Amino acid sequence: MPQLIFQPLNVSVDVAPNTKILVAANRQKVSMRYGCAACRCGTCGVKVAGGELTPMRDEERALLQRMGLALDGSVRLACQARVVDGSTVVDLDFQDTYSPDDGPADGGDEP
């Protein structure tokens, strides 16, 4: 059974395959920043290591790119990434390192 380890809390939980990181955190009462839970706001970014997660969909990739975050799979949106197998470490401290409002200086789509 896949496992999630939330750091720095050192909380580990076994989860059914295909469980979203955000769902597992909420079930375990792990405090995590999030907003829309629907790949729109970008507040739920976490750093991940190890384990196997579902591949990044285009919507998630586009949002991470808009915020200037890594696209190599080391950063995922907790409301989108699902656990497939293995043991995945989720670094919650990463959430303090970025703001979803800080995108690359490309003008964005602000009116």
Binding site for ligand FES (CB under 6 A): 34-37, 39-44, 77, 79
> Which residue lies nearer to ligand FES by CB, 15 or 25?
25
Chain-centroid distance, C-alpha 106: 24
HSE, side-chain direction, 13 A CA sphere, residue 101: 0
Strands 75-77 vs 19-20: parallel, antiparallel or unpaired = unpaired
Q: How far is the CB of 83 from ligand FES (least distance, A)?
A: 16
Residue 36: C-alpha distances to residues 40, 67, 79 (Å): 6, 16, 8
> Which residue lies nearer to ligand FES by CB, 1 or 94?
94
Q: How far is the CB of 108 from ligand FES (least distance, A)?
A: 16
> Which residue lies nearer to ligand FES by CB, 35 or 86?
35
Tokens of 66: 């808009």
Q: How far is the CB of 36 from ligand FES (least distance, A)?
A: 4
